[in-house]
Amino acid sequence: MAWKIKKVKVFSIKHRRVVEGQLRRMSSVFQDRRIEMGLTQEELAEVLDLTVVYIEQGRRYPSLPFLFYICRVMDIPLEIGA
């Protein structure tokens, strides 16, 4: 049996806004946790081996595997499908 996979074209504006909102909330969670840990953005970036922009500024977002890594290092529970 061959699997048929539909290609996803471009996200609709509605879905893009939802995803971008979730990513902004994720950045906020990272920032709050970093402050709880007593780290500066630069110190956390050094621990994670990535740039500050990647973490909190919302200009770029990490890949899914790196997101798991960040959550593990920062001891943030990650809920799938929430």
Q: What is the pTM of this model?
A: 0.69
Looking at per-residue confidence, does 47 or 60 come out higher? Answer: 47
Tell me how far CA of residue 63 lies from CA of 26, 39, 54, 66, in angstroms: 13, 23, 10, 5
Tell me how far CA of residue 40 lies from CA of 14, 35, 56, 74, in angstroms: 35, 7, 11, 13
Nearest to 57 by CA among 31, 37, 20: 31
Sole residue written with tokens 């946790």? 33
d(CA 12, CA 72): 31
Overall average pLDDT of the 55-77 stretch:
81
d(CA 70, CA 59): 17
Q: How confident is the model at residue 8 (pLDDT cuts 50, 70, 90)?
A: low
Judged against a pLDDT cut of 80, whether residue 44 lies above it is answered with yes
Per-residue confidence (pLDDT) for residue 36, from 0 to 100: 95
Per-residue confidence (pLDDT) for residue 9, from 0 to 100: 62
Per-residue confidence (pLDDT) for residue 76, from 0 to 100: 92
Question: Which domains, from first to last, does the chain contain?
Answer: 13-73 (1.10.260)
